[in-house]
Structure 1
Amino acid sequence: MNLLHAPALKSMAAALALLICLFAPARAADGGPIQEEIWALQLPLPMLAYVVRPVGDGPFPLAIMNHGVSLKPVDRSFFPLVEFRDAAKWFAEHGYFVVAPVGTGYGAAAIDIPERGLYGPFFAKIGNCSNPNFKDAGRALAQVDLWIIDYMVAEKRVLAKDVIVIGQSAGGWGSIALSSVNPSQVKAIITFAAGRGGRVDGKPNNNCAPDRLVEATADFGRTSRVPMLWFYIENDTFFGPALSKRMHDAFTAAGGRAEYHLMPPFGNEGHFFVGSPDAIPMWSPLVEKFLDAQK
């Protein structure tokens, strides 16, 4: 299978870099401006990222935002370059240098040769539901976050010991996995609807091996000591209240530190709560209180 090579990614990123400040200018909470950009992250596995940051040289605290996954390569090819824009801008307005990577195998990097149906690399699979490997899928995304932290610190744009990580769905699961290795740079982690194996065959509340997911959550909790804030939503048909509460109970019983909030029903599908600007007034006061407690 042909994969999208780094030179092709660099060429595509160079064109996208011309689109800096694509959107209407915004102001930070302190009145200063923020700036939106597209970056090519030269990681061991290169990828593009949406970046929104306070204007200036910094260094600033770093916020990494991890998106979810789709198991269908065609769906991944239509993945937006800018994900969680409103949520990302909220963090930038509060002083964070936000990096939202576009995972390998997504968006423009999803398809190498469209007419031949060849798709770019995708490394976050869980395998068959009869024997899913939830832990390694989470660890793969966690490794990307560690690469991004090292890359951004080397760029001297962010503070080395002032990093937060935010993740939704599979991105949240990767963030839980990251907590299990307790990276010294990461002071807090926030997840929205975190998990893997939801809606098997597209059916609501049809989860892939939920008992195995709870066991994997407990395994991460045994070594995790990073303060975490977990959001789940009542009408999430991927990871409903009963399952998310089991995950939280297992995680904290094993020793993990996670504050759990079950939010009221939101829209037609609560799983995508964090992607809506209308949700910001609901989660932002809880996030501010949580982050203030970590100072």
Structure 2
Amino acid sequence: MKFISTIAAAMALITTMAASTPGLTQAGPASPSDHPALLEEITFLDIRAPGGNYRLEALIVRLAAAKGRLPVALLTHGKPRLPSELVNMRAPLMAPQARDLAYRGYLAVAVVRRGYGVSGGTTGQPTNAAYARCNDADLRRYFSVEADDLERALRVVAGRGDADATQVIAIGGSVGGGAALALAARNTPGLKAVVNLAGAMRLTDAQGQLACPQDMPIAALASFGSQTRTPTLWVYSENDGNFGPDAARKVHAAYVAQGGVATLKIAPSLQPADGHNIFELPAGRQHWLAALDPFLRAQNLPTWSAQQLDALMRKYNMPATRRPWLEGYFSLYTPKVLVRAPNGVPSYSASTGGLEPAQRSALDSCEKAAKMACNPAMKNFDIVSTPN
């Protein structure tokens, strides 16, 4: 099995928007070239708030064949090191994660919070404003302000005809992970589970220099455990340069001690990259998606189904001993391709570069092992009807 990680191609930004569902300014859905089974749209959520209305950029992805209302997966990002880099955060950057959730049956909504990219709102609220000083009370408020955007975004999304607001999961990376925990502490109606990926917060000055001890968020994050019983999954990495595994274990223990429900997974080092970027790195997605699937099943929430795997095994007459190996394919990030030789030897690969590089890598591995030609058996989550 071979994985290819390439720099994702820059995505075109949609500037012409047309009004649609109340509260939404929306561009027509379209299928990405490497994901024909999906529909995605770039949109703005019109947020109404006591301090003034604003808009949040969002990317919404779902299965094209899906009918009726879908459970909602709300995804949100972290914070760059430099305040000057906030403008670079755009919703399409979360397309890979949103697509992975859409394949699992969700209406995936990737939200860019206030002060980032082209999202509106009061300038400076999600940055190192005065309240985000290096003390427990201000750090709690910091995560709470971020959670305001998530809660308000959910209210708007709930108005969509394809959204089931009674089944919601929230997934966030870094600051977004802390915001998701803060959201859970509000016992938001319909929120069934939260996934915290390297949840933390790095306070820096304008030059990007650390202005607060890296373990300072421990008490703030742990405090949310006393206010909720929403199941949470926490995934951190061994080589997290911002909030390492020891800090992760401390905050997890403190969160649970205060009554929170949390499962902690420490992923191996994501070398050569910083493991704090586990939310977006392909190698990070490989680990947290594998932890996500059993977590969702334990909460009776949707993910890819055993029936999908059964159908693949029946079509190609695969032995039961292959099942655990195939489960690795189903949990893997997309785009991905599974191939098979006439003698039954299989291989699979994923690539951020697209289906073609993934297929080429899988075929190379398969043909090297089998010493014969191999053919695609599955692309992303779709069985190939006729080998080619």
Equivalent pairs: percent with the same residue?
Answer: 27
Query: Normalized per residue, which structure has more helix?
Result: 1
Correspondence for 1:7? none
Confirm whether residue 244 of structure 1 aligns to residue 244 of structure 2: no
Correspondence for 2:145? 140
Deviation, 1:50, is: 1.2
Confirm whether residue 41 of structure 1 aligns to residue 45 of structure 2: yes
The counterpart of 1:66, out of the listed 61, 76, 80, is 76
Correspondence for 2:116? 106
Deviates more, 1:81-90 or 1:97-106: 81-90
Deviation, 1:18, is: 4.9
The answer on whether the counterparts of 1:64 and 1:164 sit within 8 Å (CA) in structure 2 is: yes
Secondary structure of the equivalent of 1:83?
A: helix
The counterpart of 1:123, out of the listed 125, 140, 149, is 125
Correspondence for 2:304? none
Cα distance 1:13–1:260, how it changes in 2: closer, same or farther (>3 A)? farther
Deviates more, 1:245-254 or 1:266-275: 266-275
- Please tell me whether Structure 1 or Structure 2 has the larger radius of gyration of its CA atoms: 2
1:10-58 CA deviation, whole Å, 9 max, x = no partner?
A: x95618955743731515xxxxx21121011111231110111122453
Deviates more, 1:71-80 or 1:140-149: 71-80
The answer on whether the counterparts of 2:55 and 2:119 sit within 8 Å (CA) in structure 1 is: no
Deviation, 1:109, is: 4.4
Secondary structure of the equivalent of 1:51?
A: strand
Secondary structure of the equivalent of 1:108?
A: coil
1:240-284 CA deviation, whole Å, 9 max, x = no partner?
A: 111111111110001000100111000321111221233333222
Secondary structure of the equivalent of 2:91?
A: coil
Q: Distance in 2 between matches of 1:224 and 1:157?
A: 28
Q: Distance in 1 between matches of 2:124 and 2:139?
A: 15
Correspondence for 1:165? 170
Structure 2 counterparts to residues 216-227 of structure 1, below 5 A: 216-227=220-231
Aligned pairs, number: 270
The answer on whether the counterparts of 1:84 and 1:274 sit within 8 Å (CA) in structure 2 is: no
1:191-217 CA deviation, whole Å, 9 max, x = no partner?
A: 1100113677656xx672456422222
Structure 2 counterparts to residues 1-295 of structure 1, below 5 A: 12=15, 14=17, 18=27, 20-21=29-30, 23-26=32-35, 33-44=37-48, 45-55=54-64, 56-70=66-80, 72-109=82-119, 121-124=123-126, 125=128, 127-129=132-134, 133-197=138-202, 202=208, 208-209=212-213, 212-267=216-271, 268-295=273-300
The answer on whether the counterparts of 2:158 and 2:164 sit within 8 Å (CA) in structure 1 is: yes
Deviation, 1:288, is: 0.6
Deviates more, 1:67-76 or 1:175-184: 67-76
The unaligned stretches of length 5 or more in structure 2 are 1-13, 19-24, 49-53, 301-388
The answer on whether the counterparts of 1:58 and 1:157 sit within 8 Å (CA) in structure 2 is: yes
Deviation, 1:161, is: 1.1
Deviates more, 1:49-58 or 1:158-167: 49-58
Cα distance 1:185–1:131, how it changes in 2: closer, same or farther (>3 A)? closer
The unaligned stretches of length 5 or more in structure 1 are 1-10, 28-32, 111-118
The answer on whether the counterparts of 1:163 and 1:186 sit within 8 Å (CA) in structure 2 is: yes
Q: Which amino acid aligns with 1:37?
A: E
The answer on whether the counterparts of 2:81 and 2:204 sit within 8 Å (CA) in structure 1 is: no
Deviates more, 1:127-136 or 1:224-233: 127-136
Q: Which amino acid aligns with 1:99?
A: V
TM-score by length of structure 2 reads 0.63
Deviation, 1:232, is: 0.5
Correspondence for 1:6? none
TM-score by length of structure 1 reads 0.82
The answer on whether the counterparts of 1:62 and 1:162 sit within 8 Å (CA) in structure 2 is: yes
